Amino acid sequence: MAFRKLRAKKYSGIYEYFKDSDKDKRTVAYYISYRDIDNKTKKIRCDANTKEDALKILNDKRAELTKDRAEIQKDQSLLSRKIMNNNLRLEDVAKLYFPTKTAKSTDMIKSSYDRLVNPTLGKMKITKIKTEDIKNLSDTLKQTKSRHGTPLNPRTIKKTISYLRALFNWAIKESYVDKNPVTIKDIIKVDKNEAGRVLSNEELERLWNLDEFITKPRLLLFLKACYNTGARPSAVMDIQVKHINFDKRTVHIRAMKQGKPYDARVSQEFLDLFKNWIEEHRLVHDNFIFYPIQLHNRVENKEEKEKFKNQSTRYQKYAEQLRKIFDKHYNQNIGTYDLAYRVSVYTMRRTAATNVYKKLGIVHAKKFLNHTEIGTTMKYLNIDDDMEIVDYGL
């Protein structure tokens, strides 16, 4: 298999694809080469049967890119004038802000902004947005339906407001605005005395044996990983084979928030689950434990299959499936916003930490959660039940 350029100058950027084994060197397909909107060279296969068809496709693509570049230049010129005139709207700042971010989650955050924030606040001048406007946005989101037709999860709303706060912090550094109107504690009321639901031993045993996990064992393994490591769900998603030390009985967990990476000690029983999973799925050193299995199974090419094992699945996909299971078995007749009573993936972290606390005390619970402050750990624990049986001996 090989490529060859067409000699005529007018066909510059067009390649013929042929098989080396073919004596006649017949063209199998046509490829076009061009520089994309980011000025990176792209070579892609096109649906052309002749070089003339390929030339038309290439010219159309070049014309499309020329138009896009002109639009971008026009937008940049307009933004420059707005900046000079102190007339930036929130959507203008968003256009400047998101390209500066390099995190893997940026596209997801931008999509959330476009869908949930921009329709309400996008057209407002950023200097005119007040805390009251953010509160109104929060109230609007509580009435908004998700793509699945259900009310938005309260955590989704809180994350959306948090992302908006980060955008304003950046805008302050760039001198586009003087202060940040997004004060989360005033906008989203959180009862600090309610740590969140913790499962009893009986509820936990019932969870491990639900019928839904028979057909979806990856969800059960994921929940048990969250419980046994005490790690946050997004950190569990990033566990690779190389992070598991079967000799020391530890799982390496990446850094989250202000914490540092650490090695979580786990039981031999749980390690055996990981070992069986790795053997069953033929995972190797750099492969992710929770890779996109469905995408992997759809492709037939062996090389493509292996590539999927080097990717982690998005936590959101697991969260959506698990939410349906939790709602069916644990959250019946509980309001969407009664967070302290609803079972969620984070319930695994709270339940495990509470059990560590009851067995070994607050210091070990703090270490288990990888917290820097004991005060933070106390918010995670559910110790109210203990207080009912304490005999102070007074």
230 CB contacts (<8 Å, ≥6 apart)?
A: 264, 349, 352, 353, 356, 368, 369, 370
Identify the pLDDT of residue 321.
92
Q: Does one domain contain both 215 and 326? A: yes
Q: Does one domain contain both 312 and 258? A: yes
Domain holding 171, by residue range, is 90-187
Number of domains in the chain: 3
- Three-class secondary structure of residue 11 per DSSP: helix
For the record, the structure tokens of 23 come out as 């004596």
Q: Band of the pLDDT at 124, cuts 50, 70, 90?
A: very high
What are the residue ranges of helices labelled H in the chain? 51-84, 90-97, 106-116, 118-121, 131-142, 154-173, 184-187, 201-208, 212-215, 217-229, 233-237, 268-280, 293-298, 302-309, 315-329, 346-360, 362-369, 374-380, 384-387
Identify the pLDDT of residue 158.
82
Domain end, chosen from 68, 83, 98, is at 83
31-67: pLDDT as tens digits: 888 888 777 888 888 888 888 998 999 999 888 888 8
Sequential DSSP letters for 43-67: EEEE--SSHHHHHHHHHHHHHHHHH
Residue at token pair 């106390």:
378
Residue 119 lies in a domain: yes
Q: Does one domain contain both 76 and 96? A: no
For the record, the structure tokens of 62 come out as 């070049």
Q: Does one domain contain both 237 and 286? A: yes
CATH of the domain at 123: 1.10.150.130
Burial status of residue 225 (CB atoms within 10 A of its CB: 0-12, 13-18, 19 or more) = buried
CB 233 within 8 A of CB 226: yes
Q: Does one domain contain both 99 and 141? A: yes
Residue 36 amino acid letter: D
Domain end, chosen from 125, 153, 187, is at 187
Q: Does one domain contain both 26 and 119? A: no
By percentage, how much of the chain surpasses pLDDT 70? 85
CB 296 within 8 A of CB 181: no
Residue 146 lies in a domain: yes
Q: Does one domain contain both 217 and 298? A: yes
Distances (CA, A) of 20 to 24, 26, 27, 301: 9, 9, 11, 21
For the record, the structure tokens of 120 come out as 């309400």
Q: Quick one: which of 256, 311, 269 has its CA closest to 286?
A: 311
Return d(Cα 192, Cα 45) in angstroms, integer.
57
Sequential DSSP letters for 258-309: T---EEEE--HHHHHHHHHHHHHTT--TT-BTT--HHHHHH---HHHHHHHH
- Three-class secondary structure of residue 252 per DSSP: strand
Domain end, chosen from 321, 338, 355, is at 338
| Number of C-beta neighbours around residue 315 at 10 A | 19
Q: Is the pTM of this model over 0.85?
A: no
Residue 164 lies in a domain: yes
Identify the pLDDT of residue 242.
95
Q: Does one domain contain both 252 and 206? A: yes
213-232: pLDDT as tens digits: 999 999 999 999 999 999 99
Least confident of 176-190, 268-282, 313-327, 350-364: 176-190
Q: Does one domain contain both 171 and 213? A: no
Q: Does one domain contain both 205 and 315? A: yes
Residue 303 lies in a domain: yes
What are the residue ranges of helices labelled H in 330-373? 346-360, 362-369
Residue 9 lies in a domain: yes
Q: Does one domain contain both 257 and 144? A: no
Computed over every residue of the chain, the mean pLDDT equals 83
Position with higher pLDDT, 394 vs 161: 161
Return d(Cα 349, Cα 352) in angstroms, integer.
5
For the record, the structure tokens of 102 come out as 């390099």
Residue 362 lies in a domain: no
Q: Does one domain contain both 227 and 334? A: yes
Return d(Cα 214, Cα 167) in angstroms, integer.
43
For strands 2-5 and 14-18, give the pairing: antiparallel
Return d(Cα 159, Cα 113) in angstroms, integer.
10
146-194: pLDDT as tens digits: 777 778 877 788 888 888 988 999 888 888 888 888 876 656 554 444 4
Residue 370 lies in a domain: no
Residue 60 lies in a domain: yes
